[in-house]
Amino acid sequence: MQMQIQNAFRALADPTRREIVQILASGDMTIAQLTDQFDMTRAAVKKHLTVLSDGGLITVEARGRERINRLEPNGLAPILDWFSYFDQFWDDRLNNLKEAIERNKK
Amino acid sequence: MQMQIQNAFRALADPTRREIVQILASGDMTIAQLTDQFDMTRAAVKKHLTVLSDGGLITVEARGRERINRLEPNGLAPILDWFSYFDQFWDDRLNNLKEAIERNKK
DNA sequence: TTGACATGATACCATTTGGTACCCCATAAA
DNA sequence: TTTATGGGGTACCAAATGGTATCATGTCAA
């Protein structure tokens, strides 16, 4: 639904949450592990994780007494879909990104 | 600087501002014209435009007593650059989008 | 069982945010 | 010169936001 787009954009609007996303890109982490990376309480990190989850950007897997936070690959889809509305404005850049990725694959 | 990314993401976090961006994609508009498209005061629209300008997503050109608001094509660049960090997660997505664009070009 | 650890949940607080109302200035039009 | 229109700027307000502190719960280990 449309709310998903709003939640996704809102989730990425905060610098701490964007950093969490970047950290999780390099590997799954528990809440405690993530908290070690920031200068704030576990409760604050947990709130950010809830917002990220609402935005569909991460998934959480219960594992014993731990909660494994994992980046959701398809979470960026709604945002990219929204951007696709502006093809005529960022075609060139999109093509450049695509080419860079192609080079990386070789 | 890094602040530009934050301002850009923040600008897109609000649904009204995303709608303004979409409207401006179809043509430049004055503040009064934009206000006609929404159920809010001119002052509120003006605030949104200021945020969009801070985010580098639009430019404003003074023209007589009017202010022409124009979508800035390169404004999305910082956001796309940030996304490029997650190549491994949205490679497929990007490919699909690229293919769709290729089809449209034919 | 007992204790330590990982998390959940809530109350509370300061700041930011989205919005209105209001007044002022510049400019176009009569 | 009036008069109307487009916009800037500020004060103010309610709600959302980001954070802490605190307490409760479940689970692993000795």
Interatomic separation, CA of residue A51 and C1' of nucleotide C1, rounded (Å): 39
Instruction: Please give the structure tokens belonging to residue B58.
Output: 């639009």
Supply the DSSP string of B19-71, one letter for each residue: HHHHHHHT--B-HHHHHHTSSS-HHHHHHHHHHHHHTTSEEEEEETTEEEEEE
Residues B4/A27/A34/A51 CA torsion (nearest 10 deg): 60
Identify the residue whose tokens are 């709310």. A3
- Other Cβ atoms within 10 Å of A99 Cβ, number: 11
CA B86 to chain centroid? 21
Rounded mean pLDDT of chain A?
85
Beta strands in A1-106 (DSSP E): 58-63, 66-71
| Partner A contacted by B44 (CB < 8 A) | no
Instruction: Give the one of A6, A12, A77 whose C-beta lies nearest to B15's C-beta.
Output: A6
**Cα–Cα distance measured from residue B11 to residue B24, given in angstroms and rounded to the nearest whole number:** 14
The reply to whether A15 Cβ lies less than 7 angstroms from strand D is no
φ, ψ of residue B60 in degrees (nearest 5) = -120, 130
Enumerate residues 6+ apart whose C-beta is below 8 A from A80: B83, B90, B93, B94, B97
| Partner A contacted by B32 (CB < 8 A) | no
Give the mean model confidence (pLDDT) for residues A2-8. 91
Query: Residue B81 is part of which domain span?
Result: 2-105
Enumerate residues 6+ apart whose C-beta is below 8 A from B62: B68
Q: What is the CATH number of the domain that holds B56?
A: 1.10.10.10
- C chain positions with any atom within 7 Å of a protein CB: 5-11, 17-22, 26-28
Enumerate residues 6+ apart whose C-beta is below 8 A from A102: none
Interatomic separation, CA of residue B98 and C1' of nucleotide C29, rounded (Å): 51
Q: pLDDT tens, A45-67?
A: 999 999 999 999 999 999 999 99
- B104 vs A95: CB contact, 8 Å cut-off? no
How many domains is chain B partitioned into structurally?
1
Q: pLDDT tens, B17-75?
A: 999 999 998 899 999 999 999 999 999 999 999 999 999 999 999 999 999 999 998 88
